[in-house]
Each structure stands twice: as C-alpha cells, then as structure tokens.
Amino acid sequence: MSTLEIRNLQVSVDTDNGTVEILKGVDLTIKSGETHAIMGPNGSGKSTLAYSIAGHPKYTITGGSVTLDGVDVLEMTVDERAKAGLFLAMQYPVEVPGVSVSNFLRTAATALRGEAPKLRTWVGEVKDAMEALNMDPSFATRNVNEGFSGGEKKRHEIMQLELLKPKMAILDETDSGLDVDALRIVSEGVNRAKAANNLGVILITHYTRILRYIQPDFVHVFANGRVVEQGGPELAEKLEANGYADYVSK
C-alpha cells in the first residue's frame, strides 16, 4: 500500500518574459489502487503538475512538498523517482534516434529491477506486453518513438507502464490523438496494470471519453494552477454537460 501526497505544491517556470508561476498550491493524495482524474482547460497547469512530480528540469518548485510513503520525492533525481515507483506516461513522448525499443526497455528494466532481466523470460515478457497492446513484433527493433504515429507512441508508453510495474502512474493526456479502437486498447492496458500491481493513477485529461474505459474514483477540476473542485465520477458528467466555463470565467 503506497501513498503519494502532494501538499501546497507551487511551481514556476522561466520564460523569455520572466518567471511565471503556474501551480499555485496543489493538494492531492493518491493511494494504491485509486484512480484520480484531473480535468481542466488548456493552460490550467495539469501537465506542469505531471512534469514537476517526474522531475523535469524546466520546472522550479517554489513551495510545498511531494512525498511517496513519507519520503521526499522532490529531493530525488529523475531516475531515483522512477526507482521509487513513479511513472509518467507522457503526452509527447520523446524520440531517441538510434536507440531501439528493445534496448531501451531492457536498459530501463535493468535499472529499475537492479539486475538485468533473464533473457529468456524477458523476451517473453516483452512479446506478451506488445501483443496485449496489439503492437506488431517489428516494433521492438524500431528506434524509440522515431517515426511512431500518435497512437503508437501512446501504446509504447502504456507498454512501459505494464512492463516496468510502477506504484504510481501519471498519465498525461494519454487519450489525446487516439481513435476509438486505440483508446480502448490503451485503456485496457492501464486497467491491467491497475489490477496486476494495485497501481495508483493520476489521469490527466480534457475529455470524459477515456473515463468510460478507466473508471475514476475521484475527479478533480483544475483551473489557474489549483484544484478548484473535487468530487466523484458524477463530477465528470457535469463537466461533460457544462464544460469548464464556470471555472475559468473569473
């Protein structure tokens, strides 16, 4: 049983026009097995929250705390956060030219497990994970995210989620750019990871569409760098009907 606690998190970013405060005090508590949907309009700070927890160097933490089972996450390097059990499925996964998917996955698994996975079982693991996400076997020999379609990038992210078995996953607009079939396949992958590892999930999205496949326990509305409303799945229905206008007009 793990708990990710975000307390009064304040984050700024340096731009050409000076320092801009993006997160203005975010509080969230996520426990193993729970799924928290974070919904909100563009520019409300959802992705900043995701990247800040993962440790992207672009973001400066100016206040507050993030702990995983009481341990300070913000003090950790990016790889240490992954080793502690955090995973970020990125909205725009990065191309790494010349590095094959299979080499990348094996290097990551070796780093996270502390030893190289046994070749025979590993090959089977990767094959199963790829099949489950309806990915062609040739995928393993391609370079990481290079020339991938939007859907392939997202499947690749969720394949890593299943293979690397984190405790807590942040899914940053995993649904964007997916057609109905891909959305279902990717959602099933997330649900498998939840079931297999009692995964806690922060699901960042604009739309309620993905929530039909991945059932949230809590819904948080994000606006202007804060959580402005919280509720159960019914809140998503309300957003679907009314949009975000109520939260951004002032």
Query: Which residues of the chain form contacts with another protein (CB under 8 A)?
Result: 54-58, 77-79, 81-83, 87-88, 90, 93-99, 103-104, 107-108, 111-112, 143-144, 160, 164
Closest CB to another protein among residues 58, 250: 58
Q: By the 8 A CB rule, do 195 and 29 touch?
A: no
Closest CB to another protein among residues 99, 123: 99
The minimum distance between CB 211 and another protein, in angstroms, equals 25
Enumerate long-range contacts of 143-149, CB under 8 Å, 24 or more apart. Answer: 143/95, 143/96, 143/97, 143/98, 143/99, 143/100, 143/101, 144/94, 144/95, 144/96, 144/99, 144/100, 144/101, 144/104, 145/93, 145/94, 145/95, 145/96, 146/95, 146/96, 146/97, 148/93
The minimum distance between CB 116 and another protein, in angstroms, equals 12
The minimum distance between CB 220 and another protein, in angstroms, equals 23
Sequence-distant (≥ 6) Cβ neighbours of residue 25 within 8 angstroms: 8, 9, 10, 63, 64, 225, 226
CA angle, 238 then 244 then 246, to 5°: 90
The minimum distance between CB 186 and another protein, in angstroms, equals 18
Whose CA is closest to 210, among 231, 227, 189, 229? 189
The minimum distance between CB 111 and another protein, in angstroms, equals 4
AA identity, residue 166: P
Closest CB to another protein among residues 59, 244: 59
Closest CB to another protein among residues 10, 100: 100
The minimum distance between CB 147 and another protein, in angstroms, equals 13
Closest CB to another protein among residues 160, 205: 160
Closest CB to another protein among residues 164, 202: 164
